[in-house]
Structures are given as C-alpha cells and as structure tokens.
Amino acid sequence: MLQKPIYMDHNATTPLDPEVLEAMMPYLTYAFGNASSKAHSFGWNAEEAVQTARAQIADLIQCDPDEIIFTSGATESDNLAVKGIAYANRKKGNHIITCQIEHKAILDSCKYLENKGFEITYLPVDSYGMVDPEDVACAITRRTILISIMAANNEVGTIQPISDIARMAQRHDVLFHSDAVQAVGKIDVRVDDLGIDLMSISGHKFYGPKGIGALYVRNRRPRIRIEPLLHGGGHERRLRSGTLNVPGIVGLGKACEIASSRMEKEGDRLRVLRDRLYQRLISQLDHVHLNGHPTRRLPGILNMSFEFVDGESLLMGLKDIAVSSGSACTSGTSESSYVLVAMGVEESLANSSIRFGLGRYNTQEEVDYTAEEVTRQVRHLRELSPYYAIIKQGKANHSMDL
C-alpha cells in the first residue's frame, strides 16, 4: 500500500540509513568518550572509531585516511577550503576562479574575500549548467591561487568536467577544490583519478547524519598549506579545532561504507525511476522543459519547468509529496533560481521549475503517483491561466486552418 507523504527531496537531505543509526548508537550512549582523551579506554575507543571512519571515507574517495579533516558539514568545508587557501597563499596571489552556479557557501565565501582585497572570477555556464574548461584556462593569471568548481550541481544535477578542469589547474600550478557534496556517495568520485586537491563532503546528503562533514586536503606532492578558521585545541592536523563529533563521524564513515558497496546498483535503479517519472510527465503534459544536462546528470535529480504554472503554487498543491522549487539553502526567497538564471532559462520558466530528488527508498508506485498528481495539479493551474488559454486557442485555430 502506498505510504504518504512521499519524500522526493533527497538533494536537500536524506533519511538516516538504519545501518548508519545502528553504527552510531553505541557512541550516542555508553561509548561516549572524547577522542582526544588519551589516558583511558573511553578515549581510546572513541579514537579508534574515528580512525575507522577515516578509513571508510578514504576508501570511498580513494585517498589516505590522514587527508580527511572532519567538519560540521558542507558549509564549513567550503569555507575552510576557500578562505583557508586564500589566507595561506595571499603572498603568492589574490585571484580565485569559481562559477556562477556554485553553492552559496562558495559564492558567499568568495564575496567575503572580495571585501578583503581578493579578486574573484565567476565563470559562466552553458544552457546545461556546465563550465567550459577552456574558460577556466583563459581566466587563470599569474596571481591565481585557487579554482573551485562543484562536482555536480544541487539544483539540476549537471556533472561538471572535473578532470579536464583539474588538468588546467595542474598545468598552471593552481590548487583545485571541488564541492562534491551532491556527488559523493552517488557517483564515483576518486580524488587522485580526477586530480582534486581539496574536496568537500557532507554526511546528510547520502544517508548519513546531519551536522557532520569532511574536507579532503591533499597531504602529498607537495603538502597543501591551509589557514584554519577555528583555533583552540589544534585538532585535525591543527586545521579544525574542536571536540570531534564521534557519533556523527561514525555515521559518516558507515554511510561511506554503504555507498562503496551499493552506489553503482543504486544509481542504475534511480536512473530508471527518474526516467520513468520524466517520460510519464512529458507524455501527459505539453510545454514542459528539462533543466540540466540530459545525460551528464546525477541519477536521482529531475528538474523540470512547467510553462504557465507558478512553481510555488504547484508545490502548495502537492500536499502529500515533498519536492522543492530549488536549493534548500535558498528556499523561502521569492527570487528566481540563480542557477537557472545563469543557465539562460527565462524568468517565467525559472519560476515554474520543480526539482524532484529521488532516493534510496523511493518506489515505482511512488513515482507513478507523483506523475499523476503533478499532471493533475499542472492541468488545474493552467485552467486558471489566461495565457495558457490563449496558447490553446491559437493551436486550435492553427489546426482548423490546416
């Protein structure tokens, strides 16, 4: 039997996997030690759990466990990467390259640095939301110290040509950071294969707990210098002071372990469900548009615009289906999606967009119900639209003329 409400907003957050919760429970109860306490077994057990998690994360992204720095999540990881590199390298240069559709944690960090005397280049994207590696190459100057391009976009799912961009960075001896929050655990992201120097990860985007993340910082060939944002006990190679969130770290590690074994099969299943939802919608509705790349896209994201419909009104009509009209980090605003605007999507279409985020526990039955409900609501809202009536009338007259 179909259970409601239906959750299809997995790019905002994901439910905690039961296996992750099981792994965390001892460290939320009786195994409560501080991982920095070196004088007794409570601390030793906590430290061992942290090191196990480091190894699990390192196995997923193929790095050395010592290159994992634990943070509170994606926003802190992005801030630490961008500001930390900027401050540590300001004698070498003051120029950073990013793109217009990055997560707000990157864009706002860059805007902050602009006020501190740094120069930022915000590269455009094409109609699919993709950065041209040649644009990256052309933007590099002798004062460039960092390039930060996300692995996959959180609103439309477009996967960036990361390895090509990394090669441009390496050719000019510039550090390369990638916000891979939406990609890790969903597609294969191996830092050495892709040429990434720093990479942001967040647990709650792939069935781990909220409030825990990590920043991969290359520790070899040569070691990367980064200025910490927090000062205190010198934890995490002196890059992130603060008592470690042991239960969260254990959960993040377990989520990575699960992703390592299920990612490929799970991705295939989600593509089938995503494409089924898309085909059902376009077969029943006219004047709909796919946003994002048709093939180079995360398996679970479907972003569509429904002409002659206000996206917020559509969301209100889908009372028992959890979807979104854009990024959860910018929800609550009346502005058009800055991602879609940067892609050249007209404002009216941008305002009629819905992001469906499918995940581990969605079923075909839920997909079919969602398609039916969206179709019903779009048709209802279009009946109230004078513009759609004009278009329909024009089509009818055109058919009669033929």
Separation of alpha carbons 121 and 328, rounded Å: 25
Q: Is the CB of residue 5 less than 8 Å from the CB of residue 321?
A: yes
CA–CA distances in Å: residue 10 to residues 141, 193, 319, 362: 38, 27, 17, 10
Tell me the HSE value of 237 on the side-chain side, using a 13 A CA sphere. 18
Nearest to 289 by CA among 343, 331, 236, 245: 343
SS3 172: coil
Separation of alpha carbons 298 and 303, rounded Å: 11
Separation of alpha carbons 304 and 307, rounded Å: 10
DSSP run (H or E) holding 200:
strand 198-202
Separation of alpha carbons 262 and 392, rounded Å: 47
Non-local (6+) Cβ contacts of 362 within 8 A are 6, 7, 8, 270, 273
Q: In what order do the strands lie in the sheet with 119-123?
A: 68-71, 213-217, 198-202, 175-179, 144-148, 95-99, 119-123
| 15-28 b/e (C-beta count within 10 Å ≥ 16 → b) | ebbeebbebbeebe
Separation of alpha carbons 313 and 273, rounded Å: 25
Nearest to 133 by CA among 157, 106, 169: 169
* Residues forming the active site: 329
Q: How far from the centroid of its chain's Cα atoms is residue 304's Cα?
A: 18
Separation of alpha carbons 166 and 149, rounded Å: 9
Q: What is the largest CA-CA distance in the chain?
A: 89
For the record, the structure tokens of 152 come out as 């996959």
